[in-house]
Structure 1
Amino acid sequence: MPVELNTLSYLLLTSIFSAASAVAIKNGRHSDVHPLVLNSQGSFSSLRYAGESAIIKSKMYTHSTLFSNNQTIRTLSQLYEVAFLKHKTNTFILSGQTVCSRYGKWFIEINSVHILWPSCHWGGLVTIPIAAQATSSHLLHVIRNTSLTVLVIDASHLDFALHLIEASTVKHLIVLGHHPQEQREYFGIRVSSFDYLKKVGLEALIETSDQTSSDTMASIYYSSNPKNNIILDNKDNQNALGVVLTHQNMISALSSYAAHLPASHRITSKDRFMHGFAIDNVLGYILGILCTFMGATLSFEDKIPYNDFHLNVENVLSTIKGFRPTIYASGAPFLKQVRILIANKYGNSFIYQRGLKRKDRYHREGRLVSDCIYDMLVFRDIRQRMFGGNIRLLLIDDDQNMSDDASFYRAILGAQVLKTFSRAETTSGMTATSVYDYTSDKRLIGPPLPVMEIKLSDHEEYTAEDLPNPRGEIQVRGHNVFAGYWNDDKDTLLDVVHPDGWFITDMIGELLPNGSFRLLKSK
């Protein structure tokens, strides 16, 4: 007996088959990018010297300027001027419960240490960031080495700072946050609240003129973390050297990160950026500048704990969940603690373990899947509870322990995860893994960033003639390599930077055929 179908039935069947076809196409076993793209991530020079590998550049090396249509931007002050005029109605910062707009006198509308760096650089001042977690010996080392006269601190650090700087060169102490008195004096040190300075500034507005140039000093970075820059004796951070970064260094670094992201993953005004770096880690600031220029919103926590070495991971995750960032960046140690927390809560679940194995299979097929059955059953809950559910791009910096955290978070978040390899001396950037590269190689640190040239030089048992791939000490060169060490003799600079501009990283790497690098060990 023939079955007759009416028009509605035809439409229903057509819809079902169309939906099934769309799902099949989306979840088909084709990789997210053509293999040729991942097989050629760097450009090799045709010549090389004895004892060295070929020089490697990014495929984007000749397109590494963020400002191809804004050739007048050579300093941070010019960058902020362009950025805030272009995105003046957008939200700039979310800090606690405070919202700061780019419109109008944005730099005097918020009590946050995070707004001071753009304010200072817009006005041509030099910043010397010091982390809240820094030891008293590190703080004194920085003050003595720079003869610092003005120190900006959070209100919770006031008593500690006054006791510490009593006999130092500091003459002005500016307090952020609640401070009962507008201005007072202790032991010859003038203590002023930030609110008082704002009031004085409004009563005596002056026209600022940009006197900076590309080679003008922008910041000096004394990292309180020995892994973030070179320390002479490699024993403690009391001998940390002040890394001098110019405006050109910073412009080059942020341009490089911008060019490294393909068009499909570029930062836009719809993004919200948050990071977990200490304030003396330049990568957090560079990424923040880039997001500012692109119109994205920056998110920060108001509270700045003093000497809080025992980080409460759940409290930090609660803040991340509240701000719901789309882009998050952090050092490997914090993300390792988060991974332990996730394992403690979900690790005994069969579905969780099965889901990780299935995601690993997808990654080996070259696919990033964020909507499979395991996402619905377990991973989506983790994203919502711990990260706010919106992260599309995660950056993990300086994972020298060579963990598989990138693969793990790629599975959990269903997001692109990039590993970066940075130093203060290179204004945060040397290499970064590529979008769409889902390899499980724990040691992979990616190709050079677009402003960098990288080569390997022979070191002890590691040589450029090694098989199957050249190995040796990683050396880098580019416009983001620092100008020198503050208040230090030239001999120290020559120990780490060759006369032809090559910076010695003290790291041993391996050059892969596709132009990316593996990190083998620290010297």
Structure 2
Amino acid sequence: MIVPAVSFPNNVDYKNQSIAVPGTKRPGQTAHYQNAIYGLVDASALATLPDIFDNGYNTNPDARLLGHRPIVSTSPLKFGPYVWQTYKQVDARRRRVGSALHSLFSRGVLKGDDLETVGIWSQNRPEWQLVEFALHAYNKVGVGLYDTLGKDSVEFIINHAHLSIVFTTADHIPALLKLAPKVAVMKMIVSFDVLSPDAYKAFVAWGETVGVQVKELSELEKYGEEHLIPPLPVSADTIASLCYTSGTTSQPKGMEYPFVALSVLNFGISGAVLTHGNLASSAYSNMFGLDYPPNSIVISYLPLAHIYERVIELASVAIGGCIGFFTGDPLRLLEDAQMLKPHFFPSVPRVLNRVYQSAMAAGDVPGLKGAIFRAAVRAKLDQYHATGVSTHPLWDTLVFRKIRAVLGGNLHLVSSGSAPISAEVIDFLKIALCCEAAEGYGMTENGGVCTRTSKADPTCGGTIGPPQPVNEIKLVDVPEMNYTAEDKPNPRGEICVRGPNCFIGYYKDEKNTRETLKDGWIHTGDIAEIDTQGRFKIIDRVKNIMKLSQGEYVALEKIENMYAACPLVQQIFVHGDSLQSYLVAVVVPDPLTLAPLVSTILGEKVMPDDTPSLEKAIKDPRVVAQVLTVLNREAKKNRLTGFETVKRVHLSLQLFSIEDNTLTPTLKLRRKDAFAKYSPELQALYALGEPSSGSSKL
């Protein structure tokens, strides 16, 4: 029997999106809240990850499943159109890979500790999912490593998770072989890439010197075909994954927020233990409200090592959808989308803010063209806020067709995760892309599933919606920060969540497990309020605040996210010093919006690609002052208080990046490293003294 997706019902009462369960209110906390649209659903219909795969397979075994763009030229580098593997083809390959792994573990060639763990260190590609499907079907535990992890983190995870085999790409093989003396548990490396004869010979010889076998994936599949066995039984309680993610400190830890969270809890270095039931129920929960065409397409570019992307792709598989992988080059992402024409574009605010800023910069221009664009935006926003309808026969054809085409033209859904996104941006995306744009909240510990905004809710911008159908949520008092369940007009407190999607603990880390899992509830560390319509809204972070010298508390990342919606801001790092009474910031302006501003101030035309001129201009006090003026307007629009408003800025054209260790692999700021990078400049801003009202000092 095929378990179908559940369509979003008609005539939803948006004024009542959560149900407070009678009799569950206790002193110091709210009642338990459940989803009012679907209720609390039984997730046992798809109890394990093989059930997820089989559900998609049985929809149509000959349907497309995994697609990629092959390289057709290396000089210059060019990619061809998408080529696809069907469910039936992937099923045969996962059986070969899974049989090979089971044989190797059974023979003792590979050895687990208490679990038979398998590592994957690669960018998103079809082979990543192929191996995962094999692990699910043959009772092995997957451990994803971010493609951008440094050698220290890779070394730690291999030893901590006892990875005797790592699947990877050709470019990572030398790093793994160099690490071999420090990771004695690793016995085999399997290359996703076909190696040249010379490279293969060299890697095999090098591996022999350090006790590691090096093979190609095709060799493993051939071995599996010779030792083929049926998939092994698993249950909802069977462990499926250890999820290590890189937080805001320099080492990986088990807690990371793929949806709207303000930061990462500093829980040390450990991996979240997720069972088949955890991940399958998360995927099943995401099937509620899915109104996709048959064989719908999701584009895969967010890291598969992260729970957000993994659960999205599992949900797509469950409904018989297909996954199109990007080429691996972020600069080609739009090209990939235009060729793939996806129906679903999972994303993060950093990407979506750029889409918004580029669209606004292109459309909001002087003259008739700009007037038409502004009229279209105003008319569609008014319509959306009144009715929840994001399409319009005139404006969509006249104005928004080209914006839709940038992401392929077929979108049904855009989702935003990883950090908060402003209501202004999310509402614009709905009317400009003519599709649903959902914002959600989750974490590794609950399989990336906790809350999500409801389809066509005309006023959900700025909220994270009601509980997902498999969850219950309560808010617990945080008295030291003056948040309580009795607050008026809305209850406030720390989000606590429970459900079949919630993890069983941190691997080899009882202390942090006890601190996070209390009485069956995950304590998230995020503070929310629940509005009169039953929607949650993140307002603060239990531990991610700092105090200014006058005693005022500020949530730095919340402030950064508000400024990030400004078209001038490409990146921003807000810094506070407890010995100072005000905030300063490093701003990386967007050249597309910086260039016109500079041209106006300097009285000469400066183009966005004229980096030397822009570098010179950002040192001009007049330019810095004007940027601060623009930021002040954004602060006022977001109703930031005086002490939450940035008073001085340093401008830079050098992006925060994973490469310089100022961003995590999921593009969150590493605050300590960002401060270290700009410490002299930030200290120089404070050395100017406290700004007075009307002061031009910057």
Shorter-normalised TM range: 0.7 to 0.9
Q: CA separation of 1:63/1:503 partners in 2, compared to 1, >3 Å: closer, same or farther?
A: closer
Look up the match of 1:21. none
Look up the match of 1:175. 191
Q: CA separation of 1:282/1:175 partners in 2, compared to 1, >3 Å: closer, same or farther?
A: same
* DSSP-derived class of the 1:334 partner: helix
In structure 1, runs of 5+ residues without a counterpart are 1-31, 306-310
- Equivalent residue for 2:236, pick from 186, 202, 214: 214
* DSSP-derived class of the 1:53 partner: coil
* Aligned ranges 1:329-478 → 2 under 5 Å: 329-348=346-365, 349-384=370-405, 386-400=406-420, 402=422, 404-439=424-459, 441-442=461-462, 444-459=463-478, 460=480, 461-478=482-499
**Greater length-normalized contact order (CA 8 Å, ≥ 6 residues apart):** 1
Note the C-alpha offset of 1:159.
2.5
1:327 maps to amino acid:
F
1:294 maps to amino acid:
I
1:118-164 deviations in whole A, cap 9, x for unaligned? 12212221100111122333222211211211111112322333333
Look up the match of 1:149. 164
* Aligned ranges 1:80-95 → 2 under 5 Å: 80-95=53-68
Of 315-324 and 179-188, the range deviating more from structure 2: 179-188
Q: CA separation of 1:199/1:330 partners in 2, compared to 1, >3 Å: closer, same or farther?
A: same
- Equivalent residue for 1:511, pick from 518, 527, 530: 530
* Aligned ranges 1:35-434 → 2 under 5 Å: 37-47=13-23, 48-60=25-37, 62=39, 64-65=41-42, 68=45, 73-96=46-69, 97-104=82-89, 106-108=91-93, 112-168=127-183, 169-181=185-197, 184-185=204-205, 186=207, 187-202=210-225, 204-226=226-248, 230=255, 239-259=268-288, 261=289, 265-303=290-328, 311-312=330-331, 315-348=332-365, 349-384=370-405, 386-400=406-420, 402=422, 404-434=424-454
Contact 2:254–2:506, Cα closer than 8 Å, also in 1: no
TM-score, normalised to structure 2, is 0.63
2:323 maps to amino acid:
L
2:68 maps to amino acid:
S
CA distance in 1, matches of 2:302, 2:424: 20
Of 420-429 and 97-106, the range deviating more from structure 2: 97-106
- Where has structure 1 moved over 6 Å in runs of 4 or more? 234-238
CA distance in 2, matches of 1:77, 1:63: 23
Note the C-alpha offset of 1:399.
3.0
1:261-304 deviations in whole A, cap 9, x for unaligned? 1xxx434523111244212211212121221121111111243x
CA distance in 1, matches of 2:380, 2:298: 26
Q: Does 1:479 align with 2:500?
A: yes
Q: CA separation of 1:199/1:144 partners in 2, compared to 1, >3 Å: closer, same or farther?
A: same
* DSSP-derived class of the 1:152 partner: strand
Question: How many corresponding residue pairs?
Answer: 468
Contact 2:43–2:470, Cα closer than 8 Å, also in 1: no
Note the C-alpha offset of 1:193.
0.8
Q: CA separation of 1:302/1:369 partners in 2, compared to 1, >3 Å: closer, same or farther?
A: closer
1:462 maps to amino acid:
Y
Q: CA separation of 1:193/1:111 partners in 2, compared to 1, >3 Å: closer, same or farther?
A: farther
CA distance in 2, matches of 1:67, 1:266: 22
2:298 maps to amino acid:
F
1:86-144 deviations in whole A, cap 9, x for unaligned? 32011111122331011256453996223221122122211001111223332222112
* DSSP-derived class of the 2:277 partner: helix
Identity between Structure 1 and Structure 2 (%) = 22
Give RMSD over aligned pairs.
2.6
In structure 2, runs of 5+ residues without a counterpart are 1-8, 70-81, 95-124, 257-262, 543-698
Look up the match of 1:14. none
* DSSP-derived class of the 1:365 partner: helix
Note the C-alpha offset of 1:491.
2.2
Contact 2:18–2:467, Cα closer than 8 Å, also in 1: yes
